[in-house]
Amino acid sequence: MTSEQPNNNNIELDRIHIEILGLAQPTVLAIPENKPNANYPVHLSVRLTNNSLTNYNFNFYGIWFPEIIAPDGEVLQPHLIFDDRAAIEKPSVTVWRAKLFQFISNLFRQPYHLARFISSMIRNDSRPPLQLETWSHFYLVKPEASTGASLRSQLFWCDNLLRIQLPIIDFYWNIDRPNLYWSFTLKGGGVYQLRYIYLNNDRTVLGSDIESIESQLIQESRLSQLVSPFTNFHLVEPIKPECTAVEIDGVQFETIVPDPVFIIPAESPQKIFKFLDRTFCYAETYVKIGIKITNNTEKPLHFSFYATCIPELISADGQMQEMGGGSDRYVFPSVSDFELVMPGKCLIFFPEARILCFRGNLLTLVFKSGSGSYLSFNNLTYGIYHLRFRYQNFPQSLSLDDTGDLSLKQILARTAWSGRVDTPFRELNFLFDSS
């Protein structure tokens, strides 16, 4: 395989399907406070599926062009900008790790998760960078197969204007590319529509000035046949005066932190675990961070806590913290994962959460997800952070076991709440107890 752009002319482009993932209906995004460093991450991903009879060459460096329609029907004007703010800086991943991932993916064609796992296992390797610049940045998508991109975006205020920024490419594996984003000025709360147009080349961004790039990409987007359907998202003002909850269709969601000050003991029982040839010692402190759901509708609703509460953490300066995780087993969903909330009632769910303190006073915040896996934020330090839960439940996508649990199927079909809600952030304070 060469580094030249492969030929996709033999592909029936109307059989290449693009869709936006993660924006279940309804999707609610809390509007951030109008203050410095109040940057709210917006997790978006897209999937490209090859429904044709021949292979499709997907370009890792291909351009994702968003179109947004405001609540009043106006098509918002995008502006291409260079942004090097710490709040949306690229992940701290080495270039060679990204290129290694691409090489492994091309080599094995399809095992995305295996490639990602191998590259993550060696992310802390201190050996010199590998010379992989000659490997192709195209990924072969076979018939009936899929691939995709993670387009981590940002919602924030600037000059008293509410804005959203969306990356032109998936920066996670393209960290040697410039920080180019599409910027839109939003019109406050309401229901917006979003779709993506995919441009399977990167030649436009290799030269010209930013104004020329913007003009060329807009022209190319009007000709591209690779377009996703529109999907909706709701921008919602937090409920005043506390501004800690949002409501959609009579259901309120709020991240709960009973005591935002977490005191990490200087002396506590040490635990040890071994990974490969390394030994780690740490102390752990259990903390209470949860989500409150209030049912203000007129009918009973079931809410799932099976891998539905995704924590998001940002530092005091607005920088999003990378989330890791893992699993040693898989647990199928069951009826006990769904809590019934009657009209006018609420529930508070606290997932198991711990702070691990390692040598050197580095902290890790760990949550159990409910599916046999865990989510973690590593290399934290003492000080102020802000956390929220992204509650997302997609009943139609759950994988059930072979028991054919009729009760669970009835819940999923009749009373399970479905959608996604990004709640407002709550402050946390990690303090070191030196007494």
Q: Are 338 and 416 in contact (CB under 8 A)?
A: yes
Widest CA span in the chain: 71
d(CA 247, CA 83): 32
Q: Which pLDDT tens digits describe the chain residue by residue (435 residues)?
A: 333 445 554 556 778 999 998 888 899 999 999 988 888 999 999 999 999 999 998 887 889 999 999 999 999 999 999 875 533 444 444 344 444 444 444 444 334 444 444 444 444 443 333 333 334 577 889 999 999 888 989 999 999 999 999 999 886 655 555 578 999 999 999 999 999 999 987 554 545 678 888 888 888 888 888 999 999 999 999 999 889 999 999 999 999 999 999 988 765 556 666 555 666 677 888 999 999 999 999 999 999 999 899 999 999 988 899 998 888 778 888 888 889 999 999 999 999 999 988 876 789 999 998 888 899 999 999 999 999 999 998 866 565 554 456 677 777 777 889 999 999 999 999 998 766
Distances (CA, A) of 413 to 298, 338, 349: 18, 13, 23
d(CA 237, CA 116): 37
- For the CA atoms of 320, 326, 332, 338, what is the dihedral angle to 10 degrees? -30
Buried b (16+ CB within 10 A) or exposed e, 340-362: ebeeeeebebebebbbbbeeeee
Strand duo 338-341 + 301-304: pairing: antiparallel
Element (H, E) at 16: strand 16-21
Rg (CA), the chain: 23
The token pair at 229 is 């359907």
The token pair at 333 is 């969903």
The token pair at 414 is 């009749």
DSSP letter, residue 256: E
The Cβ of residue 139 has, within 10 Å, a number of other Cβ atoms equal to 18
Element (H, E) at 411: helix 406-414
d(CA 356, CA 129): 31
Alpha helices (H) in 14-94, listed in sequence order: none
The token pair at 101 is 């991932």
Q: Are 60 and 102 in contact (CB under 8 A)?
A: yes
**3-class SS of residue 149:** strand
Distances (CA, A) of 313 to 18, 23, 121, 143, 157: 29, 20, 23, 38, 19
The token pair at 6 is 């492969």
Q: Are 43 and 166 in contact (CB under 8 A)?
A: no
Q: Specify the residue for token string 């191998």.
A: 118
